Structures are given as C-alpha cells and as structure tokens.
Amino acid sequence: MHRLQHLANRSLIAGVFDQSPALVRTKARETACLVQSIRLKTQGPVEQYGLKRFSTAEATVILREDGKMREKTLTMDTLNPQVKAVEYAVRGPIVTKAGDIERGLQQGQKHPFTEVIKANIGDSHAMGQKPITFLRQVVALCSFPELLNSPSFPEDAKQRARRILQGCGGQSLGSYSASQGVDCIRQDVAVYIEQRDKGVPADWDNIYLTTGASDGIVSILKMLVSGQGRSRSGVMIPIPQYPLYSAAISELEAVQINYYLDEDNCWALDINELHRAYQAAKEHCHPRVICIINPGNPTGQVQSRKCIEDVLHFAYEENLFVMSDEVYQDNVYSPDLQFHSFKKVLYEMGPEYFNTVELASFHSTSKGYSGECGFRGGYMEVLNLDLEVKAQLVKLLSVRLCPPVSGQAAMDVIVNPPLPHEPSYLQFHKEKSAVLGALAEKAQVTEQTLNTVPGIKCNPVQGAMYAFPRIFIPPRAVEEAKSLGMSPDMMYCLRLLEETGICLVPGSGFGQREGTYHFR
C-alpha cells in the first residue's frame, strides 16, 4: 500500500511543472480517488490471504485455529550445533559485562571508577593511536577522486591513488574487484614480499587479497577439512591460541589438535611437543594442517629461525599443510630478535622443500604500525597449491564476490609506502617510527609492571601487541569459581572489571595448560 501510494504521488509530481494548475488539481483528485479505491479493496478478502502480515506497522501475534501460538522455526534446539559450539573469548561475556557497566556510567550509576578501559582487543585506534597520514590520504583520494585536483595532497599519494583507481571498474572504489583482488595491488604485494624476503621470488598469481587476515585463514581451513571418523581432518594449533582458530575449527567440524607452547621458555615452540601432539591425534583423526602465529598472539613471542626450520621440516616429513599467521611481522620489540617469514626460511632450506611444502602466509592492515582494523584489509600468499585445487580456491573466494576495495587500497599503502626520494617519506617514516617505538616502550613497561604485582608472572613481551601473564589464584578462590560454574581466571577478570573498570580476556578463552591461569 505505501509503495503504491508513493508511486502514484511520484507520477503526480513528475507532471506538475508542465501542466496547468487546473489540470494538476484534477489529476490530484483522481489520484486520491485511486488510492482510496485501492485501500477499500484491500480491506476485504485479500487480507485473509496474508497481505496484512507484511505491514510492519500492524504486526501482531497470529494465533492458530487451535488457539496455540505459532512456534518459531529457529530455536536453540534447531540451531546448527556447530554455531553453538563456536566460542570467541575476545568478544565474550566479560566484554558484554563491560558494555553494561559503560552504559550504566553514562546514565549516572556509581562505580569505583569513571571509565571502562577496554584492553580486551587489539583495536589500536579505539585506544587513541592516530592514523598514518599517508595511508588515509591515499584512501581519501581513491574514495573522492575530485581531491586529485587539490594542492593539499602530495603528489606521491595522488600517483598511488590514480594507479589503484585505474585498476578498478569504472575507475571507482565502489565497483567490485576480481575475487582475488585488484590486480595492481596484488602485484604490489608480490613486490613487497620479494623485498621483505631479500629477493625470494614472489608470483602475484599466488596472492589473494582478503577481508582482513581472518577471511583468508577461514577460507584455507574450509579447503582442508574433509573426511569422517578417524579420517576427519585434524588441525594443529598452538595453545595458547587466537580464538579465531578454535572457533573456525568448531564451525567446520574439524578436529582440534593442541600443541602447547613452552611458557617456562618464553612461550617457545618445542619440536618434541609437535611430535607428541601429532602422534596422539593420529589415533582419532587425520592431521592435515599445522597453524603457527608468529609473532605470537596472545603470547607475544618471536620464533627463532631454527624453530621455524624445525616446524617446516616436521611439516615436510608428515605431509602437513602449513598456515603461517604473520600479521604482527612489523611488531618486534626485542633488539636481539627479528622477524623471519616462513616463506623465506622455506626457500633457504632448498628446492626440495620450497617446491613441495604447501604454505599459506597471512598479513593484515589491522596490526603492525597502521592499526587500521576497520578497513578489513589483508592478503594471503599460497604456495605449491595443486592447480585444480587452486581453481577451487578461486571459486570459493568468488562466493563472497570480493574483499572491501577500500581495504584493498589500504593494504596497498602498507606494501607500497613512500620511498626515500618521495615527498611524503619523512612524515611517513616519523609517524611509523613513533607508533612502533611507543608500542615497544609499552611492551617493556607492561612486563615490568606486571612482574611487580604479587601473584602475577609475565614473560618478556618480544612482539605483537599483548602480554599473557600467569596469575596464581589461591585454592579457595579456585573452588569458589568452580562452585559458580566458571573458570577461575574468568572470575578473576570479572572481579577486576567490576572493581577497577579494566576489561581483560581470561586465559581460558585462548587455551592453557591444566591448572594454570592467565589473562591477555
């Protein structure tokens, strides 16, 4: 009804300016009569055929003839059990509680604090980090090309924006891109990887732009999960881990294989632990993939080159697909450590390894020095994929059409930043260094401060954006938590939130050895 009336009125208005006032009044009366006639007709038997229920303004609860209310199709009983199995602690019940407290503060409720400090998620801009000027300039130019004529923007930003726009349909950021991403951005990613890895070749046909790193990680896991019973795919993940992995494994009905990082050795990866976990898992599933997060989330460790080589040799021997989550590759703070990409180490191990081990590496706009979480930009490089399987991957990615093109543009700036001879270089380098320097200082201060608190022990924060300290909870508090049906570190984080306004994530949401408790 509303739509018919709108169309009738629109037809009337369209003729106002080229007809006489008398004729306009006549047509207005005719239109009003038409609308009234339609109204009268729809008040009869038509309503019995369900037309009325489409009016949201008159929505009512419809009773069946037997007087019982119509049952909902989707209930907790009929909900996909894999959805119920998904857990994501980073935005779990503690964060929900923090939101409730925050709204209460805004409404005048009294608490021992005046604000909630959300330390539960690596959302840099939400915590006050300023955007990188050059990145925002390029994305702004791409979004509003009229600014290309403005003298307020540097020429190197304009040059990048023009190149990106030339790669977009209709030279507009609002068009779909190819499912793998804009070609020129994929080419820039390949050049970046070659330079990062000191000349190790990169083929842009192996580059796929993604909606953050998470999109790529889930897509690869989808490709890998198959089989039933003991042949069901097993996925080896570090414990502690980023909850995306356990959530995706639950949703896909894969088998989670935990390998534990060595907390007493600064969360190092122990090759003997990999063998233990693999052999134990073979009894009930088919291990097919190993996931590594380097630098580590939530543990903040940076893997040594020797450790990476051991992992790749293990994957080669056991015929495992390797997934290397490297979104924190710019976040290394310990002066005696450096980031080693899995791809570079694989290349240096020789052709027997480099030409055979299947490896997917992931990067993102969300972390590093840019902290551009909201753009949802990212990429993955996938090596040694079977050609027929590669076609299937492209098909799978095409279902979601393409990643956000604005996020692709942001990713391009990260892999194609200003060069020393360009006008934006000095400001860009200053801003990047300031962000990474501040993060390094905060990492050191966090570790030192936590280690002064009785009952807390924190390993050095070598990289990434998190500390994962161990908390020693008294036995009586552990028993109290169990009586309340919650994990002890969950109770600790809940009390901390209620008494101080600090929102943390309990270690149980990331996984930890039995009998130990942590928070991130």
Q: Is the pLDDT of residue 92 over 80?
A: no
63 band by pLDDT with thresholds 50, 70 and 90: low
User: What's the mean pLDDT when you consider all of the chain?
Assistant: 88
In this prediction, residues 480-498 reach a mean pLDDT of 93
Q: Who wins on pLDDT, 466 or 82?
A: 466
17 band by pLDDT with thresholds 50, 70 and 90: very low
Q: For residue 127, what pLDDT is reported?
A: 85
Q: What angle do CA 203, 208, 213 make, to 5 degrees?
A: 125
- The 3-class secondary structure across 215-251, one letter per residue, is HHHHHHHHHHCCCCHHHCEEEEEEECCCHHHHHHHHH
The identity of residue 348, as a single letter, is: E
Cα(392)–Cα(395) distance, rounded to whole angstroms?
Answer: 5
CA atoms within 13 A on the CB side of 269: 32
Mode of pairing for the β-strands spanning 255-260 and 321-325 = unpaired
215 band by pLDDT with thresholds 50, 70 and 90: very high
**Tokens at residue 312, please?**
């790749």
The pLDDT tens digits of the residues spanning 334-369 come to: 999 999 999 999 999 999 999 999 999 999 999 999
- With 0-12 CB in 10 A as exposed, 13-18 as middle and 19+ as buried, what is 325? buried
Q: Are 504 and 496 in contact (CB under 8 A)?
A: yes
Q: For residue 68, what pLDDT is reported?
A: 72
**Tokens at residue 245, please?**
């992995």
Q: For residue 66, what pLDDT is reported?
A: 63
Closest residue by Cα to residue 334 from 303, 371, 363: 303
Q: Is the pLDDT of residue 120 over 50?
A: yes
Helices marked H in 336-465: 342-348, 351-354, 387-398, 405-415, 425-450
Q: Is the pLDDT of residue 44 over 90?
A: no
Looking at the DSSP assignment, which residues form a beta bridge with residue 359? 322, 383
Q: For residue 498, what pLDDT is reported?
A: 94
Q: For residue 126, what pLDDT is reported?
A: 87
The pLDDT tens digits of the residues spanning 159-190 come to: 999 999 999 999 999 999 999 999 999 999 99
Q: For residue 121, what pLDDT is reported?
A: 85
The pLDDT tens digits of the residues spanning 291-300 come to: 999 999 999 9
Q: Is the pLDDT of residue 20 over 70?
A: no
Q: For residue 144, what pLDDT is reported?
A: 97
Residues 6+ apart with CB under 8 A from 512: 239, 240, 518
55 band by pLDDT with thresholds 50, 70 and 90: low
Cα(169)–Cα(181) distance, rounded to whole angstroms?
Answer: 12
Q: For residue 473, what pLDDT is reported?
A: 95
pLDDT above 70 coverage of the chain, percent: 86
Give the SS3 label for residue 71. coil
Q: For residue 50, what pLDDT is reported?
A: 47
What DSSP element (H or E) covers 265? none
Cα(350)–Cα(344) distance, rounded to whole angstroms?
Answer: 10
Cα(168)–Cα(185) distance, rounded to whole angstroms?
Answer: 10
Q: Is the pLDDT of residue 6 over 50?
A: no
Cα(366)–Cα(442) distance, rounded to whole angstroms?
Answer: 18
Q: Is the pLDDT of residue 13 over 50?
A: no
* CA distances from residue 164 to 289, 407, 471 in whole angstroms, order as listed: 35, 12, 49
Q: Who wins on pLDDT, 68 or 119?
A: 119
Cα(414)–Cα(506) distance, rounded to whole angstroms?
Answer: 32
- Whether omega for the bond prior to residue 298 falls within 30 degrees of 0, making it cis, is yes
Q: Is the pLDDT of residue 269 over 50?
A: yes
The pLDDT tens digits of the residues spanning 390-446 come to: 999 999 999 989 999 999 999 999 999 999 999 999 999 999 999 999 999 999 999
Cα(350)–Cα(411) distance, rounded to whole angstroms?
Answer: 30
